[in-house]
Structure 1
Amino acid sequence: MSSYADRLAALRQQLKEDRLDGFVVPLTDEHMSEYVGSYAQRLAWLTGFKGSAGSAVVLPEEAAIFTDGRYTIQVRQQVSPTEWSYQSVPETSISQWLREKAPEGARIGYDPWLHTADWVKQATAQLAAKGAELVAVKRNPIDAVWADQPEPSKARLAVQSDEFAGKNSAEKRHEMADWLHREGADAAVLAALDSIAWTFNVRGQDVTHTPVALAFAVVNDDGTADLFVEGQKVGDDVRAHLGNGVRLHEREDFETFLRSLNGKLVAVDPERSVAAISQALDEGGARILSRRDPAVLPKAIKNEVEVAGHHAAQARDGAAVSRFLRWIEEEAPQGGLDEIIAQDKLLSLRQDLGSLKDLSFDTISAFGPNGALPHYKGTEESNLPFTTGTLYLVDSGGQYQDGTTDITRTVPIGEPTAEMIDRNTRVLQGHIAIATALFPKGTRGSQLDSFARRPLWEIGCDYAHGTGHGVGAFLAVHEGPQRISPVGSSQSGGDEPLQAGMIISNEPGYYKQGEYGIRIENLVLVVDKGMGADKELLGFETLTFVPIDKRLIDASMLSDRELDWLNHYHAEVLAKIGPQLTGEDKAWLEKQCAPLSR
Structure 2
Amino acid sequence: MTIFDERIEQLRKEMDSKKIDFYLIPTADDHSSEYISDFYKVRNYYAGFTGSAGTLLIGMDMAGLWTDGRYFIQAENQLAGSRVQLFRMGSAGIPTVSEYLKEHLPEGGTLAFDGQVVDLAQGEGYEELLLSKHGRLLWDRDLAGSLWTGRPERSAETVYILDEKYAGKSRREKLSELRRYMKEKGGDRVLLSSLEDIAWLMNLRGSDVSHTPVFLSFALVGQDTVWLYADSRAFPDAVTDTLAKDGIILKPYMEIYDELKRLSEGKLMYDSSKVNYALCQCVPKTVSVVLTDIHEMIPKAVKNDVELDNLRRGHIKDGVAVTKFMYWLKTNVGKIPMTEISASDYLENLRSRIDTYVDLSFTTISAYKANAAMMHYSATPETDAALEPSGMLLVDSGGQYYEGTTDITRTFVLGEISGEEKKHFTLVAKSMLNLANAKFLYGCTGYTLDILARSPLWKLGIDYQCGTGHGVGYLLSVHEGPNGFRWKPVAGRNDSAVLEAGMITTDEPGVYIEGSHGIRTENELICVEDEKNEYGQFMRFEMLTWAPIDLDGIDTRWLNPEDIEQLNTYHRMVYEKISPYLEEEEREWLKKYTRPMGVEQSF
* TM-score exceeds 0.5: yes
Partner of 2:316: 315
Q: Give the whole-Å Cα distance in 1 for the aligned partners of 2:364 and 2:176.
A: 38
Query: How far is the alpha carbon of 1:382 from its aligned partner?
Result: 2.0
Q: CA deviation at 1:509?
A: 0.6
User: Cα distance, 1:181 vs. partner?
Assistant: 0.8
Counterpart amino acid of residue 466 in structure 1? G
**Residue in 2 aligned with 1:104?**
107
Output the amino acid matched with 2:21: D
d(CA) in 1 for partners of 2:2, 2:575 = 53
Paired with 2:491 and 2:328, the residues of 1 have a C-alpha distance of 36
Q: CA deviation at 1:81?
A: 5.5
Aligned equivalents of 2:254, 2:492: Cα separation in 1:
32
Asked if the contact 1:227–1:247 (Cα under 8 Å) also holds between the matched residues in 2, the reply is: yes
State the 1:335 CA deviation: 5.9
Q: Does 1:208 align with 2:185?
A: no
1:427 alignment partner, SS class: helix
Counterpart for residue 265 of structure 1:
267
- Alpha-carbon separation, structure 1, partners of 2:9 and 2:585: 58
What SS does the corresponding residue of 2:531 show, helix, strand or coil? strand
The equivalent of 1:132 in structure 2 is: 135
Higher mean C-alpha displacement, 388-397 vs 89-98: 89-98
1: CA distance between counterparts of 2:434 and 2:228?
Answer: 44
State how far apart, in whole Å, the 1-side matches of 2:562 and 2:153 are: 55
**Aligned: 1:164 with 2:162:** no
**Cα distance in 2 between the residues matched to 1:296 and 1:194:** 13
Q: Which of 197-206 and 549-558 deviates more? A: 549-558
Gaps of 5+ in 1: none
Q: State the partner residue of 2:122.
A: 119
Give the equivalent residue in structure 2 for 1:21.
Answer: 21
Deviations 1:418-457 (A, max 9, x none): 1011111111111111111011111111111111000011
Report the Cα distance in structure 2 between the residues aligned to 1:414 and 1:296, rounded to whole angstroms. Answer: 51
Instruction: Determine the C-alpha separation between the residues in 2 that align with 1:489 and 1:391.
Output: 31
Tell me the CA shift for residue 228 of structure 1: 0.7
Distance 1:128 1:80 in 2: 36
> Are residues 133 and 81 of structure 1, via their aligned partners in 2, closer, same or farther at CA, if it must alter by over 3 Å?
farther
502-511 vs 412-421, which deviates more? Answer: 412-421
Residue by residue over 1:312-349, the C-alpha shift from the partner in whole angstroms, topping out at 9 and shown as x without a partner, is 11111111111111111122233632111111111111
- 1:326-376 per-position Cα deviation (integer Å, ceiling 9, x unaligned): 111122233632111111111111112243211000000001111011111
- Indicate the SS of the match to 1:518: strand
Aligned to 2:46: 46
| One-letter identity of the residue aligned with 2:120 | A
User: Could you say which residue in structure 1 is the equivalent of 2:35?
Assistant: 35
Deviation at 1:49, TM superposition (A): 0.7
Residue 578 of structure 1 corresponds to 579
Shift of 1:98: 1.3
For 1:130-529, what aligned pairs fall within 5 Å after superposition?
130-138=133-141, 140-220=142-222, 222=223, 224-242=225-243, 243-282=245-284, 285-293=286-294, 298-334=299-335, 336-489=337-490, 492-529=493-530
- Which secondary structure state, in structure 1, belongs to the residue aligned with residue 34 of structure 2? coil
**Is the partner of 1:210 in helix, strand or coil?**
coil
C-alpha contact (below 8 Å) 2:358/2:401 kept by paired residues:
yes
> Is the CA contact 2:120–2:277 (under 8 Å) kept in the aligned structure 1?
yes
Would the alpha carbon gap of residues 520 and 223 (structure 1) be closer, same or farther in structure 2, given more than 3 Å must change?
A: farther
* Percent identity of paired positions between Structure 1 and Structure 2: 34
SS of match in other structure, 2:274: coil
- The offset of 1:57, in angstroms, is 0.5
Amino acid aligned to 1:161: D
Shift of 1:16: 2.7
Q: Equivalents in 2 of 1:83, 1:131: separation in Å?
A: 30
1:74 counterpart residue number: 74
Amino acid at match of 2:98: S
1:55-98 superposed Cα distances (whole Å, 9 cap, x missing partner): 01001111100011111111100114641111122342111111
Question: In terms of mean alpha carbon deviation, does 69-78 or 123-132 score higher?
Answer: 123-132
- The alpha-carbon deviation at position 133 of structure 1 amounts to 2.5
Could you tell which deviates more after superposition, 486-495 or 366-375?
486-495
CA-CA distance at 1:533 after TM superposition: 4.2
CA spacing shift, 1:474–1:129, aligned 2, 3 Å:
same
Q: After superposition, where does 1:52-91 map in structure 2 within 5 Å? A: 52-80=52-80, 82-90=82-90, 91=94
Contact kept? 2:189, 2:267, Cα under 8 Å: yes
DSSP 3-state at the match of 1:357: strand
Aligned-pair CA distance for 1:203: 0.1
Q: In the aligned structure 2, how far is the partner of 1:387 from the partner of 1:89?
A: 35
> What residue is the counterpart of 1:591 in the other structure?
592
Q: Is the 8 A contact 2:171 2:201 kept in 1?
A: yes
Give the Å deviation of 1:491: 7.3
2-structure distance, mates of 1:281, 1:527: 41
Distance in 2 separating the partners of 1:119 and 1:566? 44
| Alpha carbons of structure 1 residues 352 and 244: separation in structure 2 relative to 1, 3 Å | closer
Question: Deviations 1:489-513 (Å, cap 9, x if unpaired)?
Answer: 3574241000000011010111001
Gaps of 5+ in 2: none
Distance 2:515 2:278 in 1: 43
